[in-house]
Structure 1
Amino acid sequence: MRTTVGGTGLRVRLTNAFGDREVRFGHVYVGAALDAAPPSYVAEPRDTDGRTSAGRAGAALATGANRRLTFGGRAEVRLAPGATVLSDPLPGPVQARQRLAVSLYLRGGSGVLTGRNRATAPAYGQQAAVSPVYRSTPGDHAADEDGGAYTEEAAVWHWLDALIVAAPEPVSAVAVLGDSLTTGVGAETGHGWADLLAWGSGIAVVNEGVSGGKVLVAGTGRAAEERLTAEVLTKPGIDVVILAAGVNDLGAGARAEDLIAAHRRIVTAAHAAGVRVIGATVTPFAGAVFHSPDAERARQEVNAFVREDDAFDGLIDFDAALRDPAGPARLLPRHDSGDHLHPSAAGHRAMAAAVDLRSLRPNHPPAP
């Protein structure tokens, strides 16, 4: 993972939210990854047994930088089904935009896995991201630094829920509640619009995107309404939530009035917790596999609500930033990754540029 702001006393939060049995971690380590290590898409050198060795280089850590975490003073921690645990603070500083590797050694079976899908690697034929996930050969390799045991790449953060630091001064903490557009699908480098917000802004960005996620019902994981209270507002320091979701609901035939009602409930729940909500318009998706005339009409109705209603504390007009003026129901070609749904790298940059960073700062007045 890459931090957004720096601080001290790094803590790692693990979750077994969807597990059907207790999971037991014998060791958990966190270390500084080698930013200079080549991403796996640069080359795929092969070992004599035919396996790729690129991942092994990418999993390498800085020498002497891998440190063991404890939980209540113990190296081992057990997580019951549905449980969450926070590590003890790790002494020392953590830099802003620092790339860290969290290594987990699981003792015994896992049952149903809890994870964040497409957390690091864009799909749909795009290149792998710069921070893939690695699985090791059997055994306890959590303390390893050379990466040699990590032979398999993946695109899911299993059990890893958050990195938390104590910042040296007050910062804005912004959670982005969304779907695959928020995770960065379509951006060749893996830096989606939500991740780009943190570059040089001094804002702590919590990327709560889940590919396939929906607002009204469970898509991949919980529905956004439930995720807000169970996954987002439980994290410390959240000042603002950007709600950038709904395209998967519309593609599945959701009615505009139902989606609007859900948006209102999300805003109400956030406001009750003292958190502001910025509404984002739904981006064009004509040409995507689940687009239809009914879905387009519903999208326009939802976007009119986001733009014109006073429910939200601010607006991000992603629709206006990405649409093709010659055909507003579709993405501008240079903003289209190729599937007519997910923005390209240029599209993600345009989305990030559409965000008024001032609206994310503490004590910013509500939108008129």
Structure 2
Amino acid sequence: MRYARFLAAGLLLVALPAAAQSGREVWIDAYQSSPADYDFVIPKEMKLPPETRERLRDRPPVTGTLRMRFAVAAGGRQVRIRLSNEDGTTPLTVVAASAGIAATGFDAKPGTLRKLSFGGAGQVTIIPGAPVLSDPVDLPVPTMGELVVSVHIPAGLKLKGFGNAVMAMGEGDQILAEAIAGADTIIGRPPVSGVLVRTASPPRVIVALGDSITDGNRPALGQLHGWPERLNQRIAAAPGRPALAVINAGIGGNRVLSTSWGKAALARFDRDVARVQGVSHVILFEGINDIGNGGSSTMFGNNPPLDVDALIAGYRQIIARAHAANIKVVMGTLTPFQGATSYNEAREAQRQAVNRWIRTSGEPDGVIDFDKAVRDPVAPLRLRPDYDSGDHIHPGEGGYRAMGDSVDIAVFGKAG
């Protein structure tokens, strides 16, 4: 049964949207950074490098101009920017915003900055729990092209250090400045949660739903933004250029069953996957935090031990909800973590049980064996040394590259 379903997924001729066949332009999602709150105080006994502890400390709200830089997985002639206050508890007022094509660092290419409006107004107040979508703006951007988006926030925005994205900030309203004067950098969860592009050649969108091993937010420019970005690079360079685009719905610390660092995957599936314009597949690669934080945990205190059957039931719910929305589910096996602070033999047994189910149940529409891609062939319960970031659970850039390279693009079917 498993092989029949896998073969069917691989051979299925998935028709392109009718819009692509007719040449009519449509809007599709081309970038995502899933909103997430991080209600967490670093325990004094937790061993962290001084620079990491400093970066993650609580800070006062940010005021002035905040600028973000990121790549889009699909190109188009117009863009719309999605701002989020979905995890906020007070209204967020943005008095001005802009988008442009990225140059060096956080600078914009001359002549490309466009002022954004929201329902025709330059200022917008986002109520708690809600996003806003900008009006369309003419800004041609190619596939894997990089944008800079700026927001002017005079009343302050609380950024959580665990958000892990580096942003530039400067005083006052500098949204139309090609280079922000007196710029400093700050780490946090970006208020830009998405970008839509308008195109007559829409790819099928693949959403990578995961935790920190997926999350593309990085604390320095120029870093590989995880395995989804590497997969996008391969797709863009592949012969015939498959009509696919991968967007990243990873949240560091996220879990399938429990809300802590961001809403549980079960709680955020509709927001981060089902609502995405153009989505055809989701890569579900979560569960190591459910396993690693069951029972006693340095970071999350004492929790009930994880029931593997409950985690599998969570996977089944995501598969059912995805199929109800005509979305195929490709699952990634959980990667090794021996040597990490959360590791013990009982949790390793749970990881093995979960991976057996992923590989053999036949319930996902396809499987990516990330475990096999990054494990040490000599000591398979550990990450390969040259793929290990040093904490024995997160891959380094070599590991992320290996993960992206391990994905068989054919698992997403062929466009007809």
Q: Which bin holds the TM-score, normalised by the shorter protein?
A: 0.7 to 0.9
Aligned to 1:244: 285
Kindly tell me the number of residue pairs found equivalent between the two proteins. Answer: 327
Aligned to 1:71: 118
Q: Is 1:230 aligned to residue 277 of structure 2?
A: no
Aligned to 2:333: 281
Q: Is 1:158 aligned to residue 227 of structure 2?
A: no
* CA drift at 1:4: 1.4
Q: Find 1:172's aligned residue among 200, 204, 225.
A: 204
Distance 1:286 1:323, change over 3 A: same
Partner AA of 1:14 in structure 2:
L
RMSD value, Cα: 2.1
Partner AA of 1:274 in structure 2:
N
Aligned to 2:387: 335
Aligned to 1:22: 91
Distance 1:314 1:363, change over 3 A: farther
* CA drift at 1:286: 0.2
* CA drift at 1:186: 11
**CA distance, structure 1, for counterparts of residue 235 and residue 130 of structure 2:** 33
Moved over 6 A (4+): 185-188
1:225-266 alpha-carbon deviations (Å, 9 max, x no partner)? 111112222221111110111111110122221111111111
Q: Find 2:180's aligned residue among 147, 150, 153.
A: 147
**CA distance, structure 2, for counterparts of residue 230 and residue 4 of structure 1:** 19
* Pairs within 5 Å for 1:321-332: 321-332=373-384
Q: Find 2:409's aligned residue among 333, 352, 357.
A: 357
Contact 1:136/1:150, CA 8 A, preserved across alignment: yes
Aligned to 1:207: 248
Aligned to 2:370: 318
**Identity over aligned residues, as a percent?**
37
* CA drift at 1:205: 1.4
Contact 1:17/1:114, CA 8 A, preserved across alignment: no
**CA distance, structure 2, for counterparts of residue 115 and residue 160 of structure 1:** 16
Contact 2:152/2:174, CA 8 A, preserved across alignment: yes
TM-score by length of 1: 0.84
Contact 1:318/1:351, CA 8 A, preserved across alignment: yes
**CA distance, structure 1, for counterparts of residue 373 and residue 174 of structure 2:** 45
TM-score by length of 2: 0.74
Partner AA of 1:226 in structure 2:
A
Q: Is 1:268 aligned to residue 320 of structure 2?
A: yes
Between 1 and 2, higher relative CO (CA 8 Å, sep ≥ 6) is seen in 2
Structure 2: runs of 5 or more not aligned: 1-69, 237-243, 295-305
**CA distance, structure 1, for counterparts of residue 208 and residue 137 of structure 2:** 26
Distance 1:186 1:342, change over 3 A: farther
Which secondary structure does the structure 1 equivalent of 2:81 belong to?
Answer: strand
**CA distance, structure 2, for counterparts of residue 199 and residue 279 of structure 1:** 20
**CA distance, structure 2, for counterparts of residue 108 and residue 186 of structure 1:** 25
Contact 2:107/2:148, CA 8 A, preserved across alignment: no
